[in-house]
Amino acid sequence: MIRVLIADDSSFMRKILSDLFALDNRFEVAGTAINGKDAIEKVLKLKPDVLTLDVNMPLMDGLQALEVIMKECPLPVVMISSLTRSGAEETIKALELGAVDFINKTGGSISRIDTISDEITGKCYAAARANLQSVIRYTEHNKVGRSLPESFFSAVSLGKLIAIGTSTGGPKALQQVITRLPADLPCGVVIVQHMPPGFTKSLAERLNQLSAVSVKEAEDGERIKPAHVYIAPGNYHMRVRYDTAGGIISLNQDPPIGNHRPSVNALFESVVPFGRKLVSVILTGMGNDGMHGMENIKKVNGYIIAEDKSTSVVYGMPKAVIDLGIADEVLPIDKIADAIVNAVKRK
């Protein structure tokens, strides 16, 4: 029986989570905490096997509490908060501090938490069985730019993933890349192409006709499958969340990022938790969308491929990444598909 402590300032959320765990015979609710300070005290007193920890709490927030817990009384922790959405700063900070995994509140709302109940119990079960010493060693020794150890990610069963971002000149570039991917590609591909609504579906259908892999316009809540390619719909941000079974697509119409919706940065930042199991690609395009996401990908030792100037229709987005010195390979467009396949084999 796994004893779980629930830390959340919302009484409604504590009740929802308590009921959820009560329905799973693998778990026993050891107790609840109302803020970070209370969570630390309850961890010391109750000695639970796993802790669910909200980020946004009064007196002491979840990240502050996590830092103390991992130093003083380490245990497997799963963050549950809308703030851990998309693998951005809060998620990376939580992982750096020692959280084993994280869960996004559906749409940022506690009222729909029941729709991800399997994800919550699945991740907490996996966390309770994780190699905590590996997490602690990473927490103690991690520095900016140092990679996350493979055992850290395998503890939460992350699969491999390919993420591609492109803009001006992208449809032609994608045709040269996607049509050369093999039918037995062992992981999925997610793509953001700057393009208005309506056009992305046509692009996906055209690529599907020409390719050995399956290509489609992405749908919200869709699970990512091997040898499948998912293109973000025009006017929708596409992010990836994950559970113990792999990646799941999340679409939304949050405000544009850098005047873009879909945003390459939004996609890239969301896939950061895949760490060294990620192959990320930046192709032709104007501006620097994707650069900041690539910086975070590099910090977790994801593999980065950038299109060379010689074949870029607009040498903006690839140049921004290349100029940072973080690209593992810089290649002409006709060499990128093979590089992706080889990188996936090495992951």
Catalytic residue among 49, 101, 194, 228: 194
CA gap 228, 184 in Å, rounded: 10
CA gap 87, 324 in Å, rounded: 21
Q: Do 64 and 97 touch, CB atoms closer than 8 A? A: no
Please indicate whether residue 260 is annotated as part of the active site.
Answer: no
Q: Report the amino acid identity of residue 178.
A: I
CA gap 246, 321 in Å, rounded: 27
Catalytic residue among 167, 270, 280, 312: 167
Q: How far is CA 9 from the centre of its chain?
A: 25
Q: Do 328 and 306 touch, CB atoms closer than 8 A? A: no
Q: Dihedral through CA 202, CA 165, CA 237, CA 190, nearest 10?
A: 70
Pairing of strands 237-243, 246-252: antiparallel
CA gap 249, 223 in Å, rounded: 6
Please indicate whether residue 263 is annotated as part of the active site.
Answer: no
Nearest Cα to 100, choosing from 73, 70, 141? 70
Please indicate whether residue 82 is annotated as part of the active site.
Answer: no
Catalytic residue among 49, 54, 101, 289: 289
Q: Do 313 and 169 touch, CB atoms closer than 8 A? A: yes
Residues serving a catalytic function are 167, 194, 289
